[in-house]
């Protein structure tokens, strides 16, 4: 590819990173053009799904401070650049991957923060923010000041919180019956601490 053409591609990818609130990197090996088109349409208005060249994408990512993405840029790579509702787009990617296991989520960037594949899935599992905050407010025994701070928490923090809560829930379910009450109390405490962290780092 001529140098001028490469520069144009790098500029385009750089602009997409800058305009997007999230970018999810995937491996699409084995998927058909029709399947990729289906995924692209499911992401919602304002979002796009593009096959990219790893070397050029790495240069674009470096230019906007996403150097942590370099290890993910290997093999056939396509990126979902999300400009609309991040949670809804994450749900679309998760649902498509369940129906089409050849799509592999490598990780990505949400609101400027690098996230793992597990965090992308956790973000897809997040309930509407109002519902999540209502539950957290109840867990914190009505301390709405802390809950209110989460309205401004980045979605990447919400995804981490959701993943932590899910891990605690699974841990509690796996414990012996006599320890159930203690596990539940620990989960409540950790939920409040996680919420404090999300609110204070906003």
* Tens-digit pLDDT profile for residues 155-190: 666 666 666 767 777 777 766 444 434 343 344 444
* Host H or E run for residue 14: helix 3-19
CA dist., res. 191 & res. 196, Å (int): 9
Per-residue tokens: 182 = 């203690």
**Angle 23-66-39 from CA coordinates, rounded to 5°:** 15
pLDDT bucket at 150, cuts 50 / 70 / 90: low
pLDDT band at 3, cuts 50/70/90? confident
Query: 98: which 2 tokens?
Result: 């369940």
Q: Cα 102 from chain centroid?
A: 19
User: Distance (Å, rounded) from C-alpha 86 to C-alpha 15?
Assistant: 18
**For the chain, where do the domains classified as CATH 3.30.70.1730 start and end?**
4-126
- pLDDT bucket at 125, cuts 50 / 70 / 90: confident
Alpha carbon 93 to its chain centroid, in Å, reads 10
Write the pLDDT tens digit of every residue in 20-79: 999 999 999 999 999 999 999 999 888 999 999 999 999 999 999 999 999 999 999 999
Nearest to 102 by CA among 23, 29, 191, 200: 29
- Tokens linked to 114: 């690098």
Judged against a pLDDT cut of 90, whether residue 116 lies above it is answered with yes
- pLDDT over 50 at 192, yes or no: no
**Phi then psi dihedrals of residue 183, to 5 deg:** -60, -40
47: left (phi over 0), alpha (psi -120 to 50) or beta: beta
pLDDT in tens, 89-100: 999 999 999 999
Predicted TM-score of the model (pTM): 0.64
Query: What is the 3-state secondary structure of 47-74?
Result: CEEEEECHHHHHHHHHHCCCHHHHHHCC
d(CA 158, CA 16): 23
Let me know the angle formed at the C-alpha of 50 by 15 and 33, rounded to the nearest 5 degrees.
165
- Third-level CATH fold of 4-126: Alpha-Beta Plaits (3.30.70)
Cβ neighbours of residue 117 under 8 Å, at least 6 residues apart? Answer: 105, 106, 107
Residue 65 backbone zone (phi > 0: left; psi -120 to 50: alpha; other: beta): left
């Amino acid at each position: 590819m001529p140098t001028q053409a490469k520069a144009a591609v790098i500029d385009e990818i750089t602009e997409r990173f800058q305009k997007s609130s999230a970018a999810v990197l995937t491996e699409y090996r084995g998927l058909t053009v029709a399947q990729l088109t289906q995924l692209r349409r499911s992401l919602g208005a304002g979002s796009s799904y593009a096959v990219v060249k790893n070397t050029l994408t790495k240069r674009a990512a470096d230019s906007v401070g996403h150097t942590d993405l370099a290890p993910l840029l290997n093999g056939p790579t396509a990126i979902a650049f999300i400009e609309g509702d991040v949670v809804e787009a994450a749900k679309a990617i998760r649902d498509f991957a369940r129906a089409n296991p050849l799509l592999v989520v490598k990780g990505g960037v949400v609101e400027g923060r690098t996230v793992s594949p597990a965090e992308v899935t956790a973000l897809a599992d997040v309930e509407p923010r109002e519902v999540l905050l209502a539950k957290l407010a109840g867990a914190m025994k009505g301390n709405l000041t802390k809950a209110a701070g989460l309205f401004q928490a980045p979605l990447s923090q919400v995804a981490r919180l959701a993943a932590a809560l899910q891990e605690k829930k699974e841990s509690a379910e796996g414990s012996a019956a006599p320890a159930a009450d203690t596990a539940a109390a620990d989960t409540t405490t950790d939920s409040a601490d996680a919420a404090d962290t999300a609110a204070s780092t906003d």
